[in-house]
Amino acid sequence: MKIVKLLANLGYGSRREVERFLKAGIVTDTDGHVLGERDFPPHDQIRFQGEPLDQVSPLTIIVNKPDGYTCSKEDPDVTVYDLLPPRFEHRNPTLSPVGRLDKDTTGMLLMTDDGPLLHRIIHPKYNLGKVYHVTLDRPLEGHEKELFASGNLTLRNEGKPLLPAELEVLGEKEALITLHEGRYHQVRRMFAAAGNHVVALKRISIGGLKLPEDLEEGDWRIVTQAELDVLFGRVPAQG
Domain CATH for 217: 3.30.70.580
Please report the pLDDT score of residue 126 as a whole number: 85
- Has residue 31 been placed in a domain? yes
238 lies in a domain?
Answer: no
Mean pLDDT to the nearest integer, 144-170: 96
Q: What is the pLDDT of residue 234?
A: 66
For residue 191, being part of any structural domain is answered with yes
- The chain-wide mean pLDDT, for the chain, equals 94
| Whether 136 and 95 share a structural domain | no
Residues with catalytic annotation?
102
Q: Tell me, what's the pLDDT at 124?
A: 78
Q: Report yes or no on 44 lying in a domain.
A: yes
pLDDT band at 73 (very low <50, low <70, confident <90, very high): confident
- Taking the C-alpha atoms of residue 210 and residue 139, their distance in angstroms, rounded to an integer, is 27
Dist. CA 49–CA 41, nearest whole Å: 16
Contact by Cβ (8 Å): 7, 52: no
Residues facing residue 198 across a β-bridge = 136
105-134 pLDDT, tens digit per residue, is 999 999 999 999 999 998 878 889 999 999
| The one-letter amino acid at 49 | Q
CATH number of the domain encompassing residue 17: 3.10.290.10
pLDDT at 69 over 60: yes
Mean pLDDT over residues 208-222, rounded? Answer: 97
Banded pLDDT at 239 (limits 50, 70, 90): very low
Which CATH number covers residue 189?
3.30.70.1560
- Whether 88 is covered by a domain: the verdict is yes
Q: What's the pLDDT at 180?
A: 92
Per-residue pLDDT of 17-28, as tens digits, reads 999 999 999 999
Given a cut of 90, whether residue 140 has pLDDT beyond it is yes
Residues 147 and 36 reside in one and the same domain: no
User: Does 32 have pLDDT greater than 50?
Assistant: yes
- Kindly report each contact of residues 21-28 with a partner whose C-beta sits within 8 Å and lies 24 or more positions away, as own/partner: 21/48, 27/3
More confident residue, 34 or 182: 34
The count of domains in the chain is 3
Residue 15 belongs to what domain range? 3-52
- Do 217 and 108 have their domain in common? yes
